[in-house]
Amino acid sequence: MRTSIITKKIIATTLKDLMKTEPFVKISVSDIMKACQMRRQTFYYHFQDKYELLEWIYQYETKENIIDFLDYESWENIFNQLFDYFYQNQLFYKNAFEVTEQNSFIEYLSTHIKTLYLKAFEDMLRDSNKHLDQQELDILASFYSHGFVGLVKEWIEKSCVYSPEMMASIIRQQVLNQLRTITGNEEGDLK
């Protein structure tokens, strides 16, 4: 049977809702499928177990919110949307970080965020007609993406006390400052 992405999304949303009030370890596949009014077997058509489901959420939702927007929105707006997304899903993620069996969140988010940083750098370098070595860009993007993931994780663990707007604004300013430094442009004519 060919799997349905929308069915996966429905199952994922149900797990996320349950995780707002219940620890992940206490939620069974039966609980999830009862809550979304689908047959238990349907779960196993789409996922091996609840750990695979959790991993799918990390992978799919970060892709949906980052990679799928790279050709549609400016990098600044993608950062804004991303902080909104994590803010809205903070209870789920706070709970998910407690699951010690996996750490794929960091892996998926940092990979996708690295792509976003590369886009931001490339956009700004294009606008300023400056060139930077690809290796240097790659190292910088890695550095920032790991910093970003750590920052988001800590922000969520501390219940998002700073607003998503403030977080996005600081990240944006950081990217701009970094680019000004490496291109030697202190006049601020980078966008």
Shortest reach from residue 6's CB to another protein, in Å: 5
Shortest reach from residue 178's CB to another protein, in Å: 21
Shortest reach from residue 157's CB to another protein, in Å: 26
Stretch that binds another protein, among 69-77, 107-115, 138-146, 152-160 (CB under 8 A): 69-77
Q: How far apart are CA 151 and CA 37, in angstroms?
A: 37
User: Under the criterion CB under 8 A, does residue 69 sit at the interface with another protein?
Assistant: yes
Contact 52, 125 (CB under 8 A): no
Helix H segments across the chain?
5-18, 29-35, 40-46, 50-65, 75-88, 90-96, 104-128, 134-157, 164-183
User: Under the criterion CB under 8 A, does residue 1 sit at the interface with another protein?
Assistant: no
Q: How far apart are CA 183 and CA 177, in angstroms?
A: 10
Binders of another protein in range 71-110 (CB under 8 A): 71-74, 77, 81
DSSP string, 115-159: HHHHHHHHHHHHHHT----HHHHHHHHHHHHHHHHHHHHHHHHTT
**Binding map of another protein across residues 46-65, x = CB under 8 A, - = no contact:** ------------------x-
User: Under the criterion CB under 8 A, does residue 128 sit at the interface with another protein?
Assistant: no
The residue ranges that bind another protein (CB under 8 A) are: 4-6, 9-10, 13, 64, 68-69, 71-74, 77, 81
